[in-house]
Amino acid sequence: MTSPNSADFSIIQSKGTLDWSYPSMILASSAVAMGKETEIFFTFYGINCLLKDTSKLKVSPVGNPGMPLKSPFGPKWFQEINWRFLPDIVWSLPGMTSAATWMFKQTIKKQNQLSFEDFRDLCLEMGVKFTICQMSMELLGYTEEDMIDGVEYAGAATYFSQTPQQQSLFI
């Protein structure tokens, strides 16, 4: 954890899906590159972002109407189709979350962007502090052995007492 009033920017990461893991990494890496001391506090399902095994990070197209669903392969006309027009019942069929996750990863690769794991490692190397909510970790049955190296552990009260003057975002 940072000392009182020393951090400039903080993100509270509560979502534990692949598509919701990128925004906090993008914002944190940008802030630290601009010279801001930056911290991400991972709580509840956001803790999945710090697991050694990131296979739990999926993309669910159900209930995510703002997410475009485009194919990363095929002819140009096929790639331009936004499959979002299909009703959510189709996206809830078995295998569709795996398909959406695969499509998301392929799009990331096609755009020459970092995989989530590489992006997470880059943030750590840049000096972004990762703090896990101890209570959430215990509640969800995780241990420190499940987590990547280089993270800190603290309760929500400690986090808030040490970051009162900084700009915070909730993701």
Q: Which tens digits make up the pLDDT trace of 103-160?
A: 889 989 989 999 999 999 999 999 999 999 999 999 999 999 999 999 999 998 888 8
Q: Which of 40-44, 55-59, 155-159, 164-168 has the lowest mean pLDDT?
A: 164-168
Rg (CA), the chain: 17
What mean pLDDT, rounded, does the chain reach?
A: 87
Assign domain 9-56+115-170 to its CATH superfamily: DsrEFH-like (3.40.1260.10)
Residue 62 CA, chain-centre distance (Å), reads: 18
Structure-token pair, residue 29: 């890496």
Instruction: Give the start-end residues of each E strand in the chain.
Output: 9-13, 38-42, 129-133, 152-154, 167-170
Q: What is the pTM of this model?
A: 0.82
Structure-token pair, residue 162: 């040490």
Domain boundary assignment for the chain: 9-56+115-170
Structure-token pair, residue 160: 């808030």
Closest C-alpha to 54, from 148, 136, 140, 135: 148
CA-CA distance, 101 to 93, in Å (whole number)? 14
What's the rounded mean pLDDT across residues 83-87? Answer: 72
